[in-house]
């Protein structure tokens, strides 16, 4: 009985650790895809033009972040009571 409870608790903690890691990766994708281009655009010398490449890159990074965040939520959904 106690061994089963320990197994569940350990499994839950491992799932939470994995979900947190995936969510931190999603946050890094937001930084790469949105924050970095925004900061470089504000601090650009001689003007800043919004190119199609930057827009597509930002959309890709933000979409990746969203999918990773959903993956982290899915992992947390597997926690046992």
What integer best gives the mean pLDDT of the chain? 88
pLDDT in tens, 25-37: 999 999 998 888 8
What is the SS3 assignment for the chain? Answer: CHHHHHHHHHHHHHHHHHHHHHHHHHHHHHHHHHHHHHHHHHCCCCCCCCCHHHHHHHHHHHHHHHHHHHHHHHHHCCCCC
In a domain, 71, yes or no: yes
In a domain, 4, yes or no: no
Q: What is the pLDDT of residue 36?
A: 80
What's the pTM value of the predicted model, to 2 decimals? 0.79
In a domain, 3, yes or no: no
Q: Tally the domains of the chain.
A: 1
The residue ranking higher by pLDDT, 77 or 1, is 77
Parent domain of 25: 15-40+48-81
In a domain, 77, yes or no: yes
């Amino acid at each position: 009985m106690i061994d089963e409870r320990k197994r569940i608790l350990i499994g839950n903690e491992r799932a939470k650790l994995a979900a947190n890691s995936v969510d931190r990766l999603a946050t890094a994708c937001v930084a790469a895809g949105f924050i970095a281009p925004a900061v470089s655009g504000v601090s650009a010398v001689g003007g800043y033009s919004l190119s199609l490449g930057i827009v597509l890159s930002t959309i890709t990074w933000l979409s990746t972040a969203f999918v990773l965040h959903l993956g982290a939520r899915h992992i947390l959904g597997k926690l046992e009571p």
